[in-house]
Every structure is written in structure tokens, then in C-alpha cells.
Amino acid sequence: MSAAAARRAIFVAPFDELADPRLLAELARDAEAAGFDGFFLWDHITYNQPASAVLDPWICMAAIAIATERIITGPLVTPIARRRPHKLAKETVTLDLLAGGRTVFGIGLGSDRHGELSPFGEETEPRELAKLLDDGLAKLLDYWSGELLPPPVQQPRIPIWAAARWPARKPVRRAARLDGLFPIELPDPEALATLRDEIAQQRDEEGLTGPYDLVVTNEPGTDHAPWAEAGATWCLTGFSAQPRLADVRAAISAGPNG
């Protein structure tokens, strides 16, 4: 795949300087005008210091959906273990309807590293979190398929990207059965190529077909060509847990090929 073929997006935490739904909608509108293909948000309840103000991404994504016409939005990523699947089904479907089918749903295991599980009485043991994730995902798919109405705009389902922290492989095997992989902490494009080949082999063995996304995030100014050559279908420009508005505006102004 060429670098030009990989879609480009802005990926920000709705924290601190960006903790304003109207501002995020404005930035997404500017990103769309600049030629970006997506605008994605972190999904957290709290976060480690020095980050402090943390917005709910779902309300922000609704504002983004209204402010834009073309770009794709979604959470990267939502820990299903701390969400009620039936409520999550309503939120995802409502957002997909509002955006006219321009949503992606990112999922992950979650952890207590940012203090957003144990302070609220949530499960923290990784094995239990994995079980809650798989059980919740199965319920969500049932709700999308017609157990709860209305269904999402996108059929057979809203695309699901699953996160995996390098070099863990169990999350990768889960992701291979879905619609995309969002690997984090990759050391280099060669690591992405390794995951690409493993996923292709598993999908072939299990008879899975259809489009599949490999999503990477890098700092502004990164050369995305090596990542696209390694299989990335989405190259995201990401920022720290304390995103600076000036930096985000600069990245948008530079455009998707900047």
C-alpha cells in the first residue's frame, strides 16, 4: 500500500486545553476542510496528572458528527469492561445515525493505570477484564443485529477496531476476528508488518473475508510512508495526554500530507 492510500486522521485527548466540545467540533470541521479523513478521541473517565480536566468523548463526538459531513469519528478506545453493553449499544447506534454511518468503534481491555477503575468500584484484574470485554462485545453485536432497535446505519455492523499493546498477542488474535487492529507502542514499521502477516494468516485460516484496517498513531511530522508500506490503512497524527491547542491547529494546517 502506498502512503497516499493510507487514510489520515487527527487523534486527540479531550483533556485540558481541548476540554471544550465546541472547540473539538471546530477542530474537526477544520480537519475535514484540510483534507483529513477522520477525527478520533481518547475515551477516559480520569487520567494521571498533570492531565486534569477530562471530557466525555461521546457528547463531543455528537458535536463532531453535526459539525462535519465527510470525516469518520469514533473513540480510541472504549474499555467495554466499564460500560453496560445495552447502554453502549444505544450510544453507538445513535452516534452512527447522527453521523450518517461515519463512525468506528474502538475497543480495548482497559486498566487501572490511570485511576479510572478501582476508585469507582470497577474490576481491575486483567483476566476478568478480558472476560468482561468478550462478553460485552458479544452482547453488543446481538443488540446491533436487531435485539435493540433501531439498528446502526452501517451493516452488517459498525466497524470495530481492537487495541493491542505491543508485543501482546492475545488482543491481536481477538482483533483479527473484528474489523481492524489499533496497535499501540509499536517500536517501528517492521513490528506492524509482523502483525499484518499474523492477522492475514489467522483470517485466512478462519475463512474471514472483507476489508480490514491497521491503524497507527504517530507524532506530528512523522513520515507515514514506511508505516503505509508496512500495511497501515490509517495513519493518525496523535498528541500527548496534555494536547496543546496550538500544536493541534498546526498539524491540521499542515494538512494530511504535512
Task: Give the DSSP H/E element, type plus range, for residue 133.
Answer: helix 126-142
**Apex 153 CA angle, 91 and 202, nearest 5:** 90
**Residue 111 · residue 44 · CB < 8 Å:** no
What's the pLDDT at 15? 98
User: Grid coordinates representing 33?
Assistant: 476542510
Q: Give the type of residue at 238.
A: G
The CATH code that applies to domain 3-254 is 3.20.20.30
DSSP symbol at 152: P
User: Grid coordinates representing 94?
Assistant: 445513535
**Apex 116 CA angle, 112 and 122, nearest 5:** 80
- Mean pLDDT of successive 10-residue segments in the chain (258 residues)? 76 98 98 98 94 96 98 97 95 98 96 81 88 97 97 97 96 97 97 98 97 97 96 98 97 94
Q: What's the whole-model pTM score?
A: 0.95
Cis peptide bond upstream of 172, omega within 30: no
Q: How many CB atoms lie within 10 A of CB 24?
A: 25
Q: Report d(CA 92, CA 30) in Å as an integer.
A: 24
- Reduce the DSSP state of residue 75 to 3 states and report it: strand
DSSP letters of 154-185?
SSS---EEEEEETT--HHHHHHHTSSEEEEES
Phi and psi angles of residue 139, each rounded to the nearest 5 degrees, phi first = -65, -40
What's the pLDDT at 1? 39
Q: Give the type of residue at 135.
A: D
Residue 174 Ramachandran class (φ > 0 left, ψ -120 to 50 alpha, else beta)? alpha
What's the pLDDT at 193? 98
Residue among 159, 40, 35, 37 at smallest CA distance from 96? 159
